[in-house]
Amino acid sequence: MFTEKIRQIWKVRDLRKNILFVLFMLVIFRLAAHIPVPGVNTAALKQLFNSNQLLGMMDLFSGGGMRNFSIVMMGVAPYITSSIIFQLLGMIVPKIEDMQKEEDGRQKINTWTRWATVPLAALQAFGMIHVLSASSQDIIGAVSGFDMFLMITTITAGTVFLMWIGELISEKKIGNGISLLIFAGIVARLPQTVGQLLLTFDKSQIFMMLGFLLVAIITVVGVVIINEGERNVPVQYARQIRGNRSYGGTSTHLPLRVNMAGVIPIIFAISLIMIPSMLASFFANAKSAWIANAATWTTTLFANQLFYGILYFLLVFAFTYFYTEIIFHPDQIAENLQKQGGFIPGIRPGKQTSEYLGNTTHKIILVGALFLGLIAILPLIVRYFTGIQSLAIGGTSLLIVVAVVIDTVKQIQSQLTMREYDGI
């Protein structure tokens, strides 16, 4: 069945060209991720990333480019941050909210998002360079003003380059370009992880590794179930008679997904949890004693795995509800149902329908929020019980990989179905 589907895809000329184009763009991205910015000790940098959980998580979303201090070290994180900012502004500014409902308005917002990515990338590049130089003098030596300018310009250009590649991929309708770039970075790190595992292999750990493999399989299954899980709310449409014809009278359902937010809450949490450590690094060498001590205390606190894990879980849990409130509007859904003559059996149209949808969503999102929180701290849990650094399951990585694979397969399947209808 699988080989037959591959043959079917390969026979469609346009689809084959699109897939090969996407693969070519991903290869270019991986080549760029191995072009380092001059003047950096990459060996010392990799050692720092291996010993720092937070930096390792940031490296995940850069596709491994941050570990190499490459020209694309910031990845697509500035673009994602810019997108999140405009989504939040849609809740605050009525004009932007109205623009989000129209095609022309959405195109303008996309343009603004691209422009806002440039200063965000420059700011994040400056902050990361400062953090790395403060962490160890072996990584980046004395940097002059002109050298700093060149580094920031190069890294910012790399982010814009990846943003352009992501949009080119999205236009081919083989998957979301930004998600595929992150996916490629995660998969590219797999051989290195397996190699480290084989180098540290010990026969006495065979049962532990089998247990790890079992946990990994269960995690993948859980990701698929939660990612595809939904609550179907029954909807009935009233029968309408116009002339000699009757319309409506059908029954359908409104799907409410368990995980509406995807991996956005994890990105939110990472962006927020890295702020205290980054600010502390700026003031670590302050002349004032109490400021330097406060910075040192903050750095020590966030280096504590227990504190880091609890705070990370709570932030992901809270942001799951927060982001769901942004993207899910029960008032609008209730209003649209009422205009179309639809209603939920046993619930009055209008305000009661909106309240029912809101309460139902809050209940099912509880499962999604707990799931995302556990997935986020899964590497810490596995590391605590096994004590093996190389066996830390990237729960976020699994979530992204599974979500991207499912979305890509669905898009390819929809294109195949569309071409079958065209043939008929």
Give the model confidence (pLDDT) of 48-58 as tens digits: 766 665 666 66
State if pTM tops 0.75: yes
In this predicted structure, the answer to whether residue 200 has a pLDDT above a threshold of 70 is: no
Cβ–Cβ contacts within 10 Å for residue 20, how many?
Answer: 11
Residue pair 258/398 in contact (Cβ under 8 Å)? The answer is: no
Residue pair 388/206 in contact (Cβ under 8 Å)? The answer is: no
Q: What is the pLDDT of residues 105-117, one digit of tens each?
A: 888 888 999 999 9
Half-sphere exposure of 155 (CA within 13 A, CB side): 31
Distance CA 268, CA 231 (A): 25
280-289 average pLDDT score: 73
**Mean pLDDT for the chain overall:** 78
Residue pair 83/113 in contact (Cβ under 8 Å)? The answer is: yes
199-215 average pLDDT score: 68
Pairing of strands 230-237, 251-257: antiparallel
* Out of 75-84, 95-104, 140-149, 349-358, least confident range: 140-149
In this predicted structure, the answer to whether residue 418 has a pLDDT above a threshold of 70 is: yes
* Out of 8-12, 63-67, 187-191, least confident range: 63-67
The CATH class that applies to domain 1-188 reads: mainly alpha
Higher pLDDT, 60 or 233: 233
- The pLDDT-based confidence of 249 (bands split at 50, 70, 90) is low
Tokens of 52: 């720092």
Residue pair 122/156 in contact (Cβ under 8 Å)? The answer is: yes
In this predicted structure, the answer to whether residue 415 has a pLDDT above a threshold of 70 is: yes
Cβ–Cβ contacts within 10 Å for residue 308, how many?
Answer: 18
Residues found in the chain: 424
Q: According to the model, what pLDDT value does residue 193 have? A: 66
Tokens of 415: 């294109």
Backbone phi, psi, residue 246, to 5°? -115, 140
Percent of the chain exceeding pLDDT 70 equals 78
- The pLDDT-based confidence of 251 (bands split at 50, 70, 90) is confident
Q: What is the residue extent of each domain of the chain?
A: 1-188, 202-393
30-46 average pLDDT score: 78
Q: According to the model, what pLDDT value does residue 119 have? A: 92
Distance CA 371, CA 117 (A): 30
Q: According to the model, what pLDDT value does residue 141 have? A: 61
Residues 6+ apart with CB under 8 A from 149: none
The CATH class that applies to domain 202-393 reads: mainly alpha
Higher pLDDT, 231 or 240: 231
Higher pLDDT, 418 or 331: 331
